[in-house]
Structures are given as structure tokens and as C-alpha cells.
Structure 1
Amino acid sequence: MQEQRVTTWLELQDLLFGGSWNEPLGRFRTSFVFRGIPDARLDLSATLNRQGAFVRHERDLLRAFRKYARGVPGTAQLTSVWDWLALAQHHGMPTRLLDWTFSPYVALHFMTERQDFLGEDGAVWCVDYHQTNQQLPRPLKEQLRLEGADVFTAEMLEMVAVDLPTFDGLAEHPFVLFFEPPSLDARIVNQFALFSVMNGPGQSLNDFLGHQHQGVRRLIVPASLKWEVRDKLDQANITERVLFPGLDGLSRWLRRYYAPRPR
């Protein structure tokens, strides 16, 4: 993993968009995904295994969620465990999934959204899924090849693993893959969202990425730069009003936008 501390807005842009030229396509199409962290000291623990709190209850949590959520509008079309996992993660249930985005600006938003962390250095994780895909077990690699894809969908994952025990048994070594959830609502769409998942509820993505020699960058954004980043994101309309459509997102945006800057 490469770690770099940025000092200016322009340097941050160069690092976030650097290396995005895709020669075979002749387009600027990066293979990186991004995750913004408001405090650089925080790790990449999923809610399921944060401090080991829910690791032993993954099966129970998912079974109960599926049982009690049935009948709620929008759940009738869900069939695979991957659809249900995405829905549960989207609504705050502890899962092994972790939220990422294809958009570096969305990642910067989540790094700067909370005012109580604007006095702390933030971080943006940048992961090249072409590199992490090289460590996938053969059945998953073959599924990507057959589909001509770089990241998975729920349907593609179900073709290889119909449940989590099958998925966990695909390899003895740790691996991570990225998959795009179904468009459950406008929030998923507007945040250009995708999830990471590892083969085991207790696996640490922080440890896994920390040992990667290629395709992983961690950009440290000092607290002194975060206010400039936040103001320029607001000017670019990367706000709660857009990323969380509806009255809740509107209220979150107004509460933050009009809050006085601490001295």
C-alpha cells in the first residue's frame, strides 16, 4: 500500500484522477474505486466485524432481516442472498459489506460531511479492482471473463455462490471483490455506489489492503485542507441534497451548510 499526504486541492485532484487513461478504450476510464474516511485513524472494518461485535451472529442477523423485511415495498423482487445483503447494508444492518464509490468526489463528500471530524486529518482509500481481481479464486475469475466484466453484480455472484458458506469455501486465502448492488433507490444511483465483500465474516480488509504492493493508495488529507475541499464540493453540488434525495437529505445539507465554522 502506498500512503501519501496531500497539501493542496490541485494535488488532491491529480492523485485522485491520476492514471485514469485506459489505452485499450482510448478513454479516461479508471479502474479505481474510492472510500472516504473522516478520521484517518479509523480503519476499514465492516460493521459486522467492528471490534468483533457481530461476527458470530451473521447468519442470525441475515435470516431475521429476510424474515421480517418480507412484504415491505421493494423486497418482492429480491431473490439472492447478495440482493438481501445489499439491502441490509443499505439500511444500516451490520453486514460484512463495506460501502465504496466509483466517484472520487463522493468519497471526498463522506470524508468532509461530519463537522465533528473537520478538525481531524481525513483519508481517501483508492483501490484498483483490476489488481484485487488477480487474487480471486478461479470460479470468480472465470465468471468475470464470461461476462466481460470488471466488477460483479448480484446475479453474477449467485452463479458462483448461492450462499455465504459456499462463497467462503471458494478459497483458503483471503480475497476481496467488488460488486454493484441493484438500484434499490436513488441514493444508490446518485452515490455511484458499490460494495466490497471478503470471504469470511471476520476478515479484515484493512489488513488485506495494507499488504498489497500494487493498486492501493491511501491519501491523507490534512484537517487544514478539509474546509477548502468541503466548500468546493458544495460549489460542485456534491451535497447531501443530491446524495440522499428527499427531505432527510435536504435537512442534512441545510444543517451542515448553514452551521458556523468553529473558531
Structure 2
Amino acid sequence: MSEIYVRSWSQLHDMLFAESWDDEIGRFRSRLAFRGLSDENYELATTLMRLGGDYSILERHLLRNFKKYAHRSMVERDSVWHWLALAQHHGLPTRLMDWTYSPYIALHFATANLERFDCNGVIWSVNYLLAHQKLPERFRLKLDEEGANVFTMEMLSQCVGCLNELPKIGEGDYLIFVEPPSIDDRIINQYSMFTVMPDSIMLVNDWLQQHPELWQKIIIPAELKWEIRDKLDQANITERVLFPGLDGLSHWLKRHYSPKSEYGR
């Protein structure tokens, strides 16, 4: 298991940007997707999984009713993937999972919840280039055709038209990284991407355990969170930027002015 426990901001910084040099183009271009969680024990579970109950059966009902009541002008194209992206973005439980290209944004989500400052946080990083080498041929050919490393919703729609087709076209499980359409500034500012799996009941971390060469899990000790949080705020990685509007502004101000003594350490 590729699990690293960091001891300092500088060590954390080095780990987040490790192996980002690309000899072929002579540039620092990371091929990693990041996800930050406030508790190292949290699993990589989708919002659909966290719904509980017979969530795999409920998935189609959730999406059908979302499409029925949502304003159709909100979606770029009438495909299941565009609808899923819109639904996930607005809080509907889906099989999509949020990731980001930015390690700093992942750090924000690992340190934004002051109620979890008494426990270790975690940053998951996954090499999406290597993960996509394990895709079914139809998907790999589409990426090659477009000269892309990550799918767009339009590209994914051209490969598979509905959720029920996903398990039938691959050999075993696989993990797809896809960029959402730029619905609003929140998606743009968070440098967002999603993952999707053909099996809605399989945890992403269970799949990753089968492919240890693809990922790292960086453990952030609780005692380091305040330093990280303060440095991110100084770098303008805050709710005010990542959630544009009055709600994000209010969340930032509430957290920024919360007394440290209320949360220990």
C-alpha cells in the first residue's frame, strides 16, 4: 500500500508535486488527480453510496426525477452524462465522485472542516494516465482519437449512451476520469474532474487496492492542519474563491474568525 505520513508543510508540499516532471515536453505537468478528506478513515465512497438503503436501485429513480423537474436549459446536451454532472454539482446523490487537478484545492477540502481538526486528514492522488490504460478498448481508442488524457462528458457520451451499458462493455472494473462542463465558476475555480465506475456499489479505494502502482495516500497529521489551513488562506485558497457568491463568502468568514481555542490544538 502506497501510504505516506508527512511531518511538515515542506515534506507535504514535496510529496504533492513529486514526479510531476515530464521529460518528453520538458515541463512540470502532473498526471495526478487529487481528493482531500478531513478524516483519514473516510472511504472513497460516492454520494450515492452514502445515501444508504438500496441505493443502486434508487439511482435511476433519482436521475429520472431530477431530469423531470430540472429546467432543461441548464444542461448542455441531453445525455445521461451531462445530466449526471449537473445533478452531482447541485447535490443529488450520484455515482460520480469529485476530484481536482489542484493539490492545493484538495488540501482545502482536507482542512476546511474545523470540527475534524482533532483527527488526521488525507490526500488521495491517482495517476489518471495509468488508470486509463486499464480501460476497455472502446474508451482507450476514443482518448487516442482525441489526443486527450481525460474524457469530457461529450466524449464519454460518444462511447456509452446509458449507465446500464457500462458493466457490459468492459472486462472487470475500471475507473474513468472525466471533466465536467463549465456549468459555473465553482467548477472552474475548483479545477474539477469526476470519476465514474461501471459498478455503482464498488468503492474506489477497493479498486485502487488492486492497483497499488496507480496511487498514493498522503496522511496529514492533525497537529499540522492549522499551519496548512493558515497558509492556504494566505494563498487565497478559500471558500470565498472556490464557492463564489455570498454563501462561500460567509463560510470563509465564519471559519476564518473562529477562535482556535474552540477546536483544540
Q: Deviations over 1:145-174 (max 9, x none)?
A: 000000000110011101111122111401
Displacement of 1:204 in angstroms is 1.5
- Alignment-derived partner of residue 92 in structure 2: 93
Displacement of 1:78 in angstroms is 3.0
1:39 is the counterpart of 2:31: no
- Alignment-derived partner of residue 142 in structure 1: 141
Displacement of 1:37 in angstroms is 0.6
| SS of equivalent to 1:248 | helix
- Alignment-derived partner of residue 58 in structure 1: 59
209-218 or 102-111, which moves further after superposition? 209-218
Displacement of 1:51 in angstroms is 7.1
Residue type of the alignment partner of 1:120:
C
| SS of equivalent to 1:199 | coil
In the alignment, structure 1 segments of 5+ residues that lack a partner are: none
1:68-87 pair list within 5 angstroms? 68-71=69-72, 74-75=74-75, 77-87=76-86
Displacement of 1:74 in angstroms is 2.5
- Asked if 2 retains the 8 angstrom alpha-carbon contact of 1:144 and 1:150, the reply is yes
- In 2, Cα distance between equivalents of 1:39 and 1:125: 12
- Alignment-derived partner of residue 250 in structure 1: 249
Residue type of the alignment partner of 2:185:
A
Displacement of 1:70 in angstroms is 2.7
- Alignment-derived partner of residue 133 in structure 1: 132
- In 1, Cα distance between equivalents of 2:51 and 2:63: 19
Displacement of 1:200 in angstroms is 1.8
Could you list the structure 1 runs, at least 4 aligned residues long, displaced by more than 6 angstroms after superposition.
Answer: none
- Alignment-derived partner of residue 198 in structure 1: 197
Residue type of the alignment partner of 2:97:
L
- Asked if 1 retains the 8 angstrom alpha-carbon contact of 2:105 and 2:190, the reply is yes
Residue type of the alignment partner of 1:2:
S
TM-score, structure 2 normalization:
0.96
| SS of equivalent to 2:236 | coil
- Asked if 2 retains the 8 angstrom alpha-carbon contact of 1:52 and 1:202, the reply is no
- Alignment-derived partner of residue 221 in structure 1: 220
Residue type of the alignment partner of 2:163:
L
Displacement of 1:48 in angstroms is 1.0
Q: Compared with structure 1, are the counterparts of its residues 11 and 232 closer, same or farther at alpha carbon in structure 2 (3 Å cutoff)?
A: same
Q: Deviations over 1:179-238 (max 9, x none)?
A: 000000000000000000001211211100122121200000000001000000000000
TM-score, structure 1 normalization:
0.96
Displacement of 1:88 in angstroms is 0.5
- Asked if 2 retains the 8 angstrom alpha-carbon contact of 1:125 and 1:219, the reply is yes
Identity %: 49
Q: Deviations over 1:58-108 (max 9, x none)?
A: 11111111111035x533x33211110001101111100100000000000
In the alignment, structure 2 segments of 5+ residues that lack a partner are: none
Q: Deviations over 1:16-58 (max 9, x none)?
A: 0000001112110000010001000100010112374322111
- In 2, Cα distance between equivalents of 1:105 and 1:123: 13
- Asked if 1 retains the 8 angstrom alpha-carbon contact of 2:136 and 2:171, the reply is no
- Asked if 1 retains the 8 angstrom alpha-carbon contact of 2:208 and 2:214, the reply is no
**Equivalenced residues, count:** 261
- In 2, Cα distance between equivalents of 1:211 and 1:169: 21
- Alignment-derived partner of residue 21 in structure 1: 21
1:145-224 pair list within 5 angstroms? 145-224=144-223
Greater helix percent: which structure? 2
